[in-house]
Every structure is written in C-alpha cells, then in structure tokens.
Amino acid sequence: MSYEIEKFDPEIFDAIESELTRQNNHLEMIASENFTQPAVMEAMGSVFTNKYAEGYPNKRYYGGCEYADKVEQLAIDRLCELFDCKFANVQPHSGSQANGAVYAALLKPYDKILGMDLSHGGHLTHGSKPSFSGKNYQSFTYGVELDGRINYDKVMEIAKIVQPKIIVCGASAYAREIDFKKFREIADEVGAILFADVAHIAGLVVANEHMSPFPYADVVTTTTHKTLAGPRGGAIMTNDEDIAKKINSAIFPGLQGGPLVHVIAAKAVGFKHNLSPEWKEYAKQVKANAAKLAEVLVSRGYDVVSGGTDNHLVLVSFLNKEFSGKDADAALGNAGITVNKNTVPGETRSPFVTSGIRIGSPALTSRGMGVAEFEKIANWISDILDDINNTELQAKIKDEVKELASNFIIYDKPIY
C-alpha cells in the first residue's frame, strides 16, 4: 500500500514504520502510556487540523466553526457524562497545561499550594520547584509514610500549618487508592480549594474501579491518554459554574490560542470508547494485571512500594540494591521491556538516576494480555534484575518477548 507521506518524506515515513515495529515487538509498560483506537488516530489526522477555532462553541472569534462547534460540544457532553459532572473544558493541549490553567484561574502569584512530593509519587506540576507551579507559587508538600501510603492525619497537620489556598490531590507514581473524601475534609478544615489531578487513574474512575473525585473536589483535571486510552491531551472539569467560567478564561485567552480541533475530535471519539460497556471490563483487567505483576515481584524478593497496588501501576524500589533505576531501565530496555526509571520514597539518587522503576499495565492490557502473560512478564523482569549485567540473558529474553508480542499485534495496518 502506498501512502502520501512515503512519497513526500521517506525519512519520516521510515521513522513511523520503525516506531510501529518497535511498539509491536516491545512490551510497553510505562504507566503513563497506552495504545489508542484506530478511530481516534483517524480523527487526529482529519481535515480539522486545518481549522482555527479560537473561543468556545457558539462563541468563536473565527468564522466557519459550525462543525468545530459540533465536535467540541460532543467531547464536552461525553466527558461530563463519564465523570457525572456539569462543566468541562476539553481544549488543554496536555495535563500540565490543564493544571496551569487551574492555578491561573484560582490563584494569584505566590499563593500557597500544598501538593504531593515528587519523589513520593506526585507530579512536577503539583508544586515541584523546577516547574512553573513551584516558581510562580509558594509550594509545600506532603508525602507517604514508610509503608508507602498517604497518612491523611499527617496531611491534615501539614495543611493546618501551611494554610494553603489550594490542595492538590492526585499522583503520577502512587499505587494505592486516593481517598478524595478525606482530602475534602482536610480542605474544609483549612478553607482551601480542593484540586484533584486524576490524569493517571481517570480510566479506572469512569469504570467505577477507583473512587471518583466528584462530588468532593472543586476542580478536576485529567489527561485523555494514559488509562483513558484516547489521544494525547488534557481536560478540566467542575460542578461550579463560577470556577468553570474562570477556567475557560484561563485556557483562552489566558494560556492558549487556537484549540487543536482535530485532537478535540479525537478526544470525543475516545470518550465514546470510554462510555462503551466493554470499557468496564478493560479497567478491571488493568487492575488485575497490575496486581499480578506486583504479586510476582514481591514473591521474587523485590521491594514493591506499599507492598502492592490498587490501580494500574507498580513502583519498585532499589534503595536496598547496588544498581539504580537508570540501570534497571536500561537492562529491561535491552530485553524489549519498556519501563521508566522513577524516584521513590526515601530517594538517595538524582532524578536523572533514581532508585526505582515505575511499571504499568494499561498498554499491554489494551493489546489483549491478561494475568497469565503478566505473570510471565513479571518473572522475566525479575530474572533480568536478579542478574542485571547479564547481556546474554537480556538478549535471550528479548527473543522471548518478541515471540509473545507477536501474538498480540497492536494494529493490523498503520494508520496515517
């Protein structure tokens, strides 16, 4: 089959083909990545990529937006249905942009933020010092205990001392369920706005496989990829009309110009997938696969932070090992198993080296793998880490990985 891109730009075509081969042959286990539907990619490659649509449905600054209005309203309505909320903004280009808009809408420069420490599982945009969230605002942190879990009484103590304007709950490397009701009680005690970032767990939330941030949070952000398995992008939700208006102004004209209508169309397609009956079964399998992964790693003697998982990811600590997260990331990558190095509670190494790895189940679950495959993969991971410098073993397992992966092809044909 011939494609326009192959004729016009063979270098880029080759890179796309190579990436498709890599995705098919490797085991993608980065917790923040997933494989989306061909229909989502078709929407992203549609003629909407040509259209400017600054503003919001029926309130545009450009003409010719009647069909852009239709797809954006569909995306809004479907997202509100998914989360059972009243207002949504589907224009953020990313989760970080969504979080930035929340702060811009609800805070003044140097107001106080209380969020989860990055090395304990938080996100850069929850107040980390290198991020805009740590530069433009006074940021304070809470973390986890030695058991790897949030101690809500401790969070309450910190909140009373800090008196933050906004409390951020949500994480990028926390394997246990987040109790939004307890965070609501903490926010009420100190008069703070409660902001929930569910970027990682959104796909579980909408399937009722994780506690919902509504009705507890004042404002909620998410990415639309990760566990939602849609296109890369962000979104913001609330039940408060005044907050919704402030959010809309913060996104446009505050932080962004023209929305990416082709991506919004793809978000709408993704949300339709999330609303389907089979989505609940997918989310259950994501959790079951992650639980099996944690179970095997623990049985093989590895320090799984918090001892297991309630969601889609497993965080493994090497604080008691001579090798680093970076070493483990590289060794597993050599064997065709893609994870990411990650900081862990009690971190002693730099963020560029780390003392742990984060492993997720969403992408391989999207490929159709179940607990039997995850048990096999967890043992491969353990074998590699047991003898981390054994490149012959890595090569042997890479062949086995490729054979397993060949039974779970992602796409029958490339989508351009």
Q: Do residues 174 and 281 lie in contact, with contact meaning Cβ atoms separated by under 8 Å? A: no
Residues 157-183, buried b or exposed e (16+ Cβ, 10 A)? ebbeebebbbbbbbbbbbbbbbebebb
The catalytic residue among 52, 67, 284, 326 is: 52
Question: In terms of DSSP bridges, do strands 112-116 and 166-169 run parallel, antiparallel, or are they unpaired?
Answer: parallel
The catalytic residue among 197, 209, 295, 329 is: 197
Q: Do residues 238 and 86 lie in contact, with contact meaning Cβ atoms separated by under 8 Å? A: yes
Burial of 59 (0-12, 13-18, 19+ CB in 10 A): exposed
Q: Do residues 281 and 136 lie in contact, with contact meaning Cβ atoms separated by under 8 Å? A: no
Residues 6+ apart with CB under 8 A from 100: 125, 132, 133, 255
223 as an active site residue: the answer is yes
The catalytic residue among 125, 223, 224, 309 is: 223
Q: Which residue has the tokens 């992203």?
A: 44
- What radius of gyration, in Å, describes the C-alpha atoms of the chain? 21
42 as an active site residue: the answer is no
54 as an active site residue: the answer is yes
The catalytic residue among 6, 17, 42, 54 is: 54
The catalytic residue among 60, 112, 226, 246 is: 226
398 as an active site residue: the answer is no
* Cα gap 416→9, rounded to integer Å: 13
Q: Summarize the chain as % helix, strand, coil (round to 5).
A: 50, 15, 40
- State the CB neighbour count (10 A cutoff) for residue 314: 32
Residues labelled as active-site residues: 52, 54, 197, 223, 226, 232
